[in-house]
Chains A and B, each alone.
Chain A
Amino acid sequence: MSLATFLDLTLSGLVVGAIYALFALGYTLVYGVLRLINFAHSEVFMWGSFAAVWLMMAMGARSGMSIPAAIGFLLLALIAAMAVSGAIALVVEKVAYSRLRHKNAPPLVALISAIGASFVLAEIMGLRDKIAGWVGLDGVLAPYVARARDTTSFPNPLPNVTLFEVADFPVRSNQLIVLFAALIMMVALDQFVRRSRLGRGVRAVSQDPEAAALMGINRDRVIQLTFLLGGLMAGAAALLYLMHIGVTRFNVGFILGIKAFTAAVLGGIGNIRGALLGGLTLGLAENYGSLIFGTEWKDVVAFCLLIVVLLFRPTGLLGESLGKARA
């Protein structure tokens, strides 16, 4: 193995891992306040990715644009993806969880409800050509809805240039942008939850819901906020994923969602910094694993790592929020 191959695998592992981590925040935040896995989170990501693709298509993004225009387009796509993902996450909370919670439904019911919401959201996207046909808009919307079950590519207007070389390995601009953007979003979220008043409300509810209510914190508002924050981060992850991979599909959320969920559990679900550590560990493990065993063994390596880590540290690498493993 050459040093260049090693560097390549390391950098792309970190990039993919950072995307997993950003995506994982939604699982970890919601788990923190509800002790529930939001299985519809994968579709929140998928809808964000289509929002970005469609906006780019609508604006006529293409390669060869000026750099400032390309950056402007990408920022607009980021906002669109975050807005759509955030909105879908809030709708999921309202439709699939809120009523059940107020009727004191057992957690398993909410879990099934979430899986149902996930299928509905994925299939609406996968059948969008049919839906557009019903309302007679399939002609107008053809570029957006045609071949609904195939992959759709993301017209990235920003050229992917080689910035510098390390030991014959070219470090490309896209990878660094994705990696740093993901890290910046995560630091911002971490600081928001740590320092802001609303963020302290989120922490209080996840550490002790009854005591939080006694302090005057409205649990329903906090739950909505965590869904929104998770959705915004998933939207950002979706755009970065498109910049890195280049395509999306109606069922893209499924395997990626499982990976992001794995990252959350690996790092210690309920723990924001754990999601970052878990995501990066998973991304690197996948890439190094594919180097040793071959690419087709990538997922096997990732999930074996998860099982091994959990055998020795059942609460994940960083454990649950300090000293509080609530039953």
Chain B
Amino acid sequence: MTSPETSTAPERTLGEPLLVVEGLCVNYGRIEAIRNVGFQVPERGIATLIGANGAGKTTTLKTISGLRPVRAGRILFEGEDITKVPSHKLVQRGICQSPEGRGVFPGMTVEENLDMGAYSRKDRRTGAIREDRDRVFTLFPRLLERRSQFAGTMSGGEQQMLAIGRALMSRPKLILLDEPSMGLAPKLIQQIFTIIREINAQGTTVLLVEQNAMQALRTADVAYVLETGEVVREGTGAALAEDDSIKAAYLGGDV
């Protein structure tokens, strides 16, 4: 593993949009959860969706992952329409989500959870899986210490790391991260964003959903602001981080 010389401003050239979301509408029963949401994630880039609780960020990610039915709109990945592809087939295409909060398998050990991430891989019988597991342990040394512990008995932050590590085990082209900093101590939050940049520097495209808006904007190449189910602002992460109205609405002086 080669670590980037500069983790704050990595030398990357962003490619064509890897993921394109157009006019996405999702309902929960009769209630509109998201309405006409559109955004793009450039290949090798980091995109972020920020917004308050209940703005529709998690719904958007779950819909991309095929866990929620689409009422209207399209989702394109590598130029192909994946709107109706069932969730269990998306991993093989290269999309993997790290779910919010306690989305790990509580009755499995850390190692078993990581192996579940490689469930759909064709190269299961080669040594590649063990190499990738070691790579996850390098990113998250805490998981190595707890490799034989049941995931359900770990702290929220550790479960969060495990969920990210498990998603990486599928070797995704695009990783969807749902609130990776949730429930973490401030010191760990810094660390998790450094890790996200590192994952990205190694070639994985990232779509990041965050309530921790300042950190997310500083990390992202492109950013979209969701408000009650709609995209209300978009721009580069740096530009939005400097925007006064964004600061007032979402940053509230934290971090």
Contact = CB atoms under 8 A, between A and B. Distances in A.
A323 interface: yes
A321 B96 CA distance: 25
A30 interface: no
For A214, A217, A219, A323, the residue with the greatest tally of chain B CB atoms inside 10 Å of its CB is A214
B105 A214 contact: no
A213 B107 contact: no
B116 A215 contact: yes
Interface string A302-327: 00000000000000000001111000
Given A200-B112, A203-B107, A215-B166, A210 B67 contact: yes
Interface residues of A, number: 21
B106 A216 contact: no
Contacts of B112: 200
Contacts of A212: 105, 116
Interface in B139-164: 150, 152-153
B106 A214 contact: no
A214 B97 contact: yes
A322 B91 contact: no
For A203, A208, A212, A217, the residue with the greatest tally of chain B CB atoms inside 10 Å of its CB is A208
Interface in A189-227: 197, 200-201, 203-204, 207-208, 210-219
Contacts of A217: 88, 119-120
Interface in A110-160: none
Contacts of B120: 215-217
Contacts of A204: 105, 108, 116, 119
A323 B107 contact: yes
A219 B67 CA distance: 12
B103 A213 contact: no
B7 interface: no
A211 B104 contact: yes
Contacts of B62: 210
B107 A215 contact: no
Nearest to A205: B105
A215 B117 contact: yes
B152 A213 contact: no
B106 A215 contact: no
A324 B153 CA distance: 11
Contact of B96 (A200, A210, A214): A214
Nearest to A320: B107
Interface string B103-136: 1111110001001110110001000000000000
A315 to B, nearest CB: 13
B150 A200 contact: no
B60 interface: no
A201 B67 contact: no
A219 B86 CA distance: 11
12 contacts: A197-B124, A200-B119, A204-B116, A208-B106, A210-B99, A213-B88, A214-B67, A214-B167, A216-B119, A218-B88, A219-B88, A323-B107
Interface of B: 62, 65-67, 86-92, 96-97, 99, 103-108, 112, 115-117, 119-120, 124, 150, 152-153, 166-167, 170
Interface of A: 197, 200-201, 203-204, 207-208, 210-219, 321-324
6 nearest A-B residue pairs (beta carbon): A216-B120, A216-B91, A323-B152, A322-B107, A213-B87, A207-B105
